Amino acid sequence: MIIFQVLAIPLLLLFVAVELVRIVRSNESRRMRMVRIVLGLAMIVTIQSPSLTTRVAHLLGIGRGTDLLLYLSCFAFIAISFHLYSRTVQLERTITELIRQDALAQAVHGGKTNRDETVC
């Protein structure tokens, strides 16, 4: 085992263990935690056996395992970028709708809303 494997694998195992504990203790965002667990386990396997990525790359017609990882990283970056863009657009629409509702409420109540009545 090389030094990187000795350092990285225990850290990744700790990461996976923490995610597993969080799945058991909370009900929120289990899907994303499962994705992180699967990715963590995949990283452990590829760090433990680097030749495995080369064999998979050859099966797919790609010359090297590092090229396969680069292509997968590019696809992941594009997918995440699209997801974050769509989430930003959704949040902008939600904010616009909230501001519109607040403006209508102020117009109906003569410029006063519950927000104006807060006591410090």
Q: Say if 74 falls within a structural domain.
A: yes
Same domain for 100 and 73: yes
pLDDT at 109: 83
Q: In sequence order, what E strands does 51-92 have?
A: none
Q: Say if 58 falls within a structural domain.
A: no
Question: What total of structural domains would you count in the chain?
Answer: 2
pLDDT per residue as tens, the chain (120 positions): 799 999 999 999 999 999 999 988 887 778 888 989 999 999 999 999 989 999 999 999 999 999 999 999 999 999 999 999 999 999 999 999 999 999 999 988 876 666 655 555
Same domain for 42 and 3: yes
Number of other CB atoms surrounding residue 117 within 10 Å: 7
Q: Which two tokens stand for residue 34?
A: 């499962």
Q: Which of 8, 34, 29 is nearest to 19 (CA)?
A: 34
Same domain for 74 and 38: no
- DSSP code of residue 63: S
- DSSP code of residue 114: G
Residue with tokens 């597993």: 20
Q: Which of 40, 34, 33, 52 is nearest to 11 (CA)?
A: 40
Q: Say if 117 falls within a structural domain.
A: no
Q: Which two tokens stand for residue 77?
A: 């970056």
Q: Say if 99 falls within a structural domain.
A: yes
Range of the domain at 79: 65-111
